[in-house]
Chains A and B, each alone.
Chain A
Protein backbone atom coordinates (compact mmCIF):
# COMPACT_ATOMS: atom_id res chain seq x y z
CA UNK A 1 0.00 0.00 0.00
CA UNK A 2 1.45 3.36 -1.02
CA UNK A 3 2.07 5.88 1.75
CA UNK A 4 1.47 9.59 1.24
CA UNK A 5 2.43 12.50 3.45
CA UNK A 6 0.31 15.63 3.15
CA UNK A 7 2.03 18.78 4.38
CA UNK A 8 -0.78 21.31 4.73
CA UNK A 9 -1.56 23.85 7.45
CA UNK A 10 -5.12 24.36 6.29
CA UNK A 11 -7.15 21.82 8.27
CA UNK A 12 -10.08 21.77 5.87
CA UNK A 13 -7.88 21.21 2.81
CA UNK A 14 -5.93 18.53 4.66
CA UNK A 15 -9.15 16.73 5.65
CA UNK A 16 -10.46 16.80 2.10
CA UNK A 17 -7.22 15.53 0.56
CA UNK A 18 -6.77 12.90 3.25
CA UNK A 19 -10.30 11.55 2.80
CA UNK A 20 -10.01 11.50 -0.99
CA UNK A 21 -6.69 9.67 -0.95
CA UNK A 22 -7.78 7.18 1.70
CA UNK A 23 -10.75 6.34 -0.50
CA UNK A 24 -8.23 5.46 -3.20
CA UNK A 25 -6.57 2.98 -0.86
CA UNK A 26 -3.52 5.00 0.14
CA UNK A 27 -2.29 5.33 3.70
CA UNK A 28 -2.04 9.01 4.56
CA UNK A 29 -0.37 11.09 7.24
CA UNK A 30 -0.90 14.81 7.63
CA UNK A 31 1.71 17.26 8.91
CA UNK A 32 0.44 20.75 9.66
CA UNK A 33 3.67 22.70 9.33
CA UNK A 34 6.90 22.49 7.43
CA UNK A 35 9.02 21.31 10.33
CA UNK A 36 6.63 18.47 11.17
CA UNK A 37 6.49 17.61 7.47
CA UNK A 38 10.26 17.30 7.18
CA UNK A 39 10.27 15.10 10.29
CA UNK A 40 7.55 12.87 8.88
CA UNK A 41 9.37 12.54 5.56
CA UNK A 42 12.64 11.57 7.24
CA UNK A 43 10.87 9.11 9.51
CA UNK A 44 8.48 7.45 7.08
CA UNK A 45 10.12 7.72 3.66
CA UNK A 46 6.77 8.17 1.89
CA UNK A 47 5.98 7.09 -1.66
CA UNK A 48 4.67 10.58 -2.45
CA UNK A 49 4.44 14.00 -0.80
CA UNK A 50 1.54 16.38 -1.27
CA UNK A 51 3.03 19.76 -0.45
CA UNK A 52 1.45 23.13 0.27
CA UNK A 53 3.63 26.18 -0.35
CA UNK A 54 2.84 28.75 2.32
CA UNK A 55 3.53 26.86 5.52
CA UNK A 56 4.47 27.83 9.06
CA UNK A 57 8.05 27.20 10.21
CA UNK A 58 9.48 25.92 6.89
CA UNK A 59 8.10 27.08 3.52
CA UNK A 60 7.01 24.50 0.96
CA UNK A 61 9.60 25.52 -1.63
CA UNK A 62 12.37 24.96 0.91
CA UNK A 63 10.93 21.55 1.78
CA UNK A 64 10.96 20.64 -1.91
CA UNK A 65 14.63 21.64 -2.20
CA UNK A 66 15.54 19.63 0.89
CA UNK A 67 13.70 16.56 -0.41
CA UNK A 68 15.53 16.77 -3.71
CA UNK A 69 18.91 17.04 -1.99
CA UNK A 70 18.31 14.06 0.31
CA UNK A 71 19.75 10.74 -0.88
CA UNK A 72 16.93 8.24 -1.34
CA UNK A 73 14.33 10.95 -1.86
CA UNK A 74 15.56 12.53 -5.06
CA UNK A 75 12.92 10.78 -7.15
CA UNK A 76 10.02 10.66 -4.69
CA UNK A 77 7.06 12.38 -6.39
CA UNK A 78 6.18 15.75 -4.90
CA UNK A 79 2.83 17.23 -5.90
CA UNK A 80 2.66 20.92 -5.02
CA UNK A 81 -0.73 22.38 -4.07
CA UNK A 82 -1.32 26.10 -3.68
CA UNK A 83 -3.35 29.07 -4.79
CA UNK A 84 -0.38 31.40 -4.77
CA UNK A 85 1.35 30.95 -8.09
CA UNK A 86 3.16 33.56 -10.08
CA UNK A 87 5.05 32.80 -13.29
CA UNK A 88 8.36 33.18 -11.45
CA UNK A 89 7.25 30.98 -8.61
CA UNK A 90 6.01 28.27 -10.99
CA UNK A 91 9.31 28.33 -12.81
CA UNK A 92 11.20 28.05 -9.52
CA UNK A 93 9.08 25.09 -8.45
CA UNK A 94 9.63 23.17 -11.67
CA UNK A 95 13.37 23.88 -11.46
CA UNK A 96 13.39 22.73 -7.82
CA UNK A 97 11.97 19.38 -8.89
CA UNK A 98 8.19 19.49 -8.46
CA UNK A 99 6.58 16.45 -10.05
CA UNK A 100 3.25 18.16 -10.57
CA UNK A 101 1.74 21.51 -9.58
CA UNK A 102 -1.99 21.93 -8.95
CA UNK A 103 -4.24 24.82 -7.95
CA UNK A 104 -6.21 24.10 -4.80
CA UNK A 105 -9.26 26.16 -5.65
CA UNK A 106 -9.84 24.51 -8.99
CA UNK A 107 -8.87 20.88 -8.56
CA UNK A 108 -11.50 18.43 -7.35
CA UNK A 109 -10.52 15.73 -4.84
CA UNK A 110 -11.13 13.12 -7.56
CA UNK A 111 -8.79 14.87 -9.96
CA UNK A 112 -6.20 15.31 -7.24
CA UNK A 113 -6.34 11.56 -6.57
CA UNK A 114 -5.79 10.99 -10.30
CA UNK A 115 -2.76 13.30 -10.30
CA UNK A 116 -1.37 11.28 -7.38
CA UNK A 117 -2.06 7.95 -9.08
CA UNK A 118 -0.43 9.14 -12.30
CA UNK A 119 2.64 10.46 -10.47
CA UNK A 120 3.08 7.13 -8.71
CA UNK A 121 2.50 5.17 -11.92
CA UNK A 122 5.23 7.14 -13.68
CA UNK A 123 7.84 5.95 -11.20
CA UNK A 124 10.28 3.32 -12.45
CA UNK A 125 9.69 -0.08 -10.83
CA UNK A 126 11.76 -0.74 -7.72
CA UNK A 127 14.43 -3.45 -7.91
Chain B
Protein backbone atom coordinates (compact mmCIF):
# COMPACT_ATOMS: atom_id res chain seq x y z
CA UNK B 1 0.00 0.00 0.00
CA UNK B 2 1.28 3.44 -0.90
CA UNK B 3 2.16 5.99 1.75
CA UNK B 4 0.77 9.55 1.40
CA UNK B 5 4.27 10.69 0.42
CA UNK B 6 4.46 8.08 -2.34
CA UNK B 7 1.04 9.05 -3.70
CA UNK B 8 1.95 12.72 -3.71
CA UNK B 9 5.33 11.98 -5.28
CA UNK B 10 3.57 10.19 -8.13
CA UNK B 11 1.21 13.12 -8.66
CA UNK B 12 4.14 15.52 -8.58
CA UNK B 13 6.09 13.45 -11.10
CA UNK B 14 3.04 13.28 -13.37
CA UNK B 15 2.41 17.02 -13.15
CA UNK B 16 6.07 17.75 -13.91
CA UNK B 17 5.80 15.59 -17.03
CA UNK B 18 2.70 17.53 -18.15
CA UNK B 19 4.42 20.85 -17.47
CA UNK B 20 7.41 19.63 -19.42
CA UNK B 21 5.27 18.68 -22.41
CA UNK B 22 3.50 22.06 -22.34
CA UNK B 23 6.66 24.14 -22.07
CA UNK B 24 9.53 22.18 -23.59
CA UNK B 25 11.45 22.49 -20.31
CA UNK B 26 12.90 19.12 -19.23
CA UNK B 27 10.99 17.50 -16.36
CA UNK B 28 14.29 16.88 -14.56
CA UNK B 29 15.05 20.62 -14.68
CA UNK B 30 11.60 21.46 -13.35
CA UNK B 31 12.08 18.95 -10.55
CA UNK B 32 15.46 20.46 -9.66
CA UNK B 33 13.91 23.93 -9.56
CA UNK B 34 11.06 22.73 -7.34
CA UNK B 35 13.53 21.02 -5.00
CA UNK B 36 15.90 23.96 -4.70
CA UNK B 37 13.21 26.65 -4.47
CA UNK B 38 11.22 24.76 -1.85
CA UNK B 39 14.28 23.88 0.18
CA UNK B 40 15.55 27.48 0.12
CA UNK B 41 12.17 28.91 1.05
CA UNK B 42 11.63 26.51 3.94
CA UNK B 43 15.02 27.52 5.34
CA UNK B 44 14.27 31.20 4.77
CA UNK B 45 10.88 30.86 6.48
CA UNK B 46 12.54 29.23 9.50
CA UNK B 47 15.06 32.09 9.63
CA UNK B 48 12.30 34.69 9.37
CA UNK B 49 10.37 32.95 12.14
CA UNK B 50 13.46 32.86 14.36
CA UNK B 51 13.84 36.59 13.77
CA UNK B 52 10.18 37.13 14.71
CA UNK B 53 9.36 38.49 11.25
CA UNK B 54 5.99 36.90 10.66
CA UNK B 55 5.16 39.20 7.74
CA UNK B 56 8.16 37.76 5.93
CA UNK B 57 7.12 34.22 6.89
CA UNK B 58 3.76 34.90 5.22
CA UNK B 59 5.42 36.09 2.02
CA UNK B 60 7.94 33.23 1.89
CA UNK B 61 5.55 30.36 2.59
CA UNK B 62 2.99 31.85 0.21
CA UNK B 63 5.56 31.66 -2.56
CA UNK B 64 6.60 28.13 -1.55
CA UNK B 65 2.96 27.03 -1.49
CA UNK B 66 2.56 28.43 -4.99
CA UNK B 67 5.59 26.55 -6.28
CA UNK B 68 4.38 23.25 -4.85
CA UNK B 69 0.83 23.87 -6.04
CA UNK B 70 1.97 24.48 -9.60
CA UNK B 71 4.09 21.32 -9.49
CA UNK B 72 1.29 19.10 -8.22
CA UNK B 73 2.47 18.68 -4.62
CA UNK B 74 -1.00 19.59 -3.37
CA UNK B 75 -0.55 18.23 0.17
CA UNK B 76 2.63 20.19 0.80
CA UNK B 77 1.08 23.26 -0.80
CA UNK B 78 -1.94 22.98 1.52
CA UNK B 79 0.31 22.63 4.57
CA UNK B 80 2.26 25.72 3.58
CA UNK B 81 -0.93 27.66 2.96
CA UNK B 82 -1.99 26.71 6.48
CA UNK B 83 1.32 28.04 7.83
CA UNK B 84 0.74 31.22 5.83
CA UNK B 85 -2.67 31.66 7.47
CA UNK B 86 -1.28 31.01 10.96
CA UNK B 87 1.54 33.48 10.39
CA UNK B 88 -0.89 36.10 9.08
CA UNK B 89 -2.90 35.62 12.29
CA UNK B 90 0.25 36.03 14.40
CA UNK B 91 -0.02 32.57 15.95
CA UNK B 92 3.70 32.17 16.52
CA UNK B 93 3.77 28.80 18.27
CA UNK B 94 1.49 27.17 15.76
CA UNK B 95 3.56 28.59 12.91
CA UNK B 96 6.60 26.85 14.38
CA UNK B 97 4.77 23.53 14.56
CA UNK B 98 3.25 23.96 11.11
CA UNK B 99 6.56 24.83 9.55
CA UNK B 100 8.28 21.84 11.17
CA UNK B 101 5.51 19.63 9.86
CA UNK B 102 5.82 21.08 6.35
CA UNK B 103 9.58 20.55 6.44
CA UNK B 104 9.07 16.90 7.42
CA UNK B 105 6.50 16.55 4.66
CA UNK B 106 8.94 17.98 2.15
CA UNK B 107 11.68 15.55 3.21
CA UNK B 108 9.25 12.64 2.96
CA UNK B 109 8.18 13.74 -0.48
CA UNK B 110 11.75 14.11 -1.69
CA UNK B 111 12.63 10.66 -0.37
CA UNK B 112 9.56 9.16 -2.05
CA UNK B 113 10.52 10.85 -5.32
CA UNK B 114 14.03 9.46 -5.11
CA UNK B 115 12.71 5.99 -4.25
CA UNK B 116 10.35 6.21 -7.22
CA UNK B 117 13.20 7.15 -9.51
CA UNK B 118 15.31 4.31 -8.12
CA UNK B 119 12.55 1.83 -9.00
**A residues touching B (Cβ–Cβ < 8 Å)?**
9-13, 15-16, 19-20, 23, 54, 56, 82-84, 104-105, 108-110
**Are the CB atoms of A11 and B37 closer together than 8 Å?**
yes
**Are the CB atoms of B70 and A16 closer together than 8 Å?**
yes
Digit string of B7-51 for contact with A (CB within 8 Å is 1, else 0)? Answer: 000000000001100111100001001100100000000000000
Q: Count of A-B contacts with CB under 8 A?
A: 61
With a cutoff of 8 Å between Cβ atoms, the chain A residues found around residue B24 in the complex are 19, 23
Interface residues of B in 78-107 (CB under 8 A from A): 81
**Are the CB atoms of B25 and A10 closer together than 8 Å?**
no
* Tally of chain B residues near chain A (CB < 8 A): 22
- What's the nearest-Cβ distance from chain A to residue B66, in Å? 5
A109, B23: Cα distance in complex, Å:
7
**A109 with B19, Cβ < 8 A, contacts A10-B37, A12-B34, A16-B30 known:** yes
- What's the nearest-Cβ distance from chain A to residue B74, in Å? 7
With a cutoff of 8 Å between Cβ atoms, the chain A residues found around residue B22 in the complex are 16, 20, 108-110
State which of B23, B37, B66 has its C-beta within 8 Å of the C-beta of A83: B66
- What's the nearest-Cβ distance from chain B to residue A41, in Å? 22
B34 closest partner in A (C-beta): A12
**Are the CB atoms of B67 and A16 closer together than 8 Å?**
no
**A84 with B23, Cβ < 8 A, contacts A11-B33, A11-B37, A12-B70 known:** no
With a cutoff of 8 Å between Cβ atoms, the chain A residues found around residue B63 in the complex are 9-10, 54
**B residues touching A (Cβ–Cβ < 8 Å)?**
18-19, 22-25, 30, 33-34, 37, 59, 62-63, 65-67, 69-71, 74, 77, 81
A13 closest partner in B (C-beta): B70
**Are the CB atoms of B66 and A23 closer together than 8 Å?**
no
A108, B14: Cα distance in complex, Å:
13
With a cutoff of 8 Å between Cβ atoms, the chain A residues found around residue B33 in the complex are 11-12, 15
- What's the nearest-Cβ distance from chain A to residue B79, in Å? 14
**Are the CB atoms of A104 and B59 closer together than 8 Å?**
no
State which of A10, A20, A54, A104 has its C-beta within 8 Å of the C-beta of B23: A20
Given contacts A13-B67, A83-B81, 12 further A-B pairs with CB under 8 A are A10-B67, A12-B34, A16-B22, A16-B25, A19-B25, A23-B23, A54-B59, A54-B63, A56-B59, A83-B66, A104-B69, A105-B74
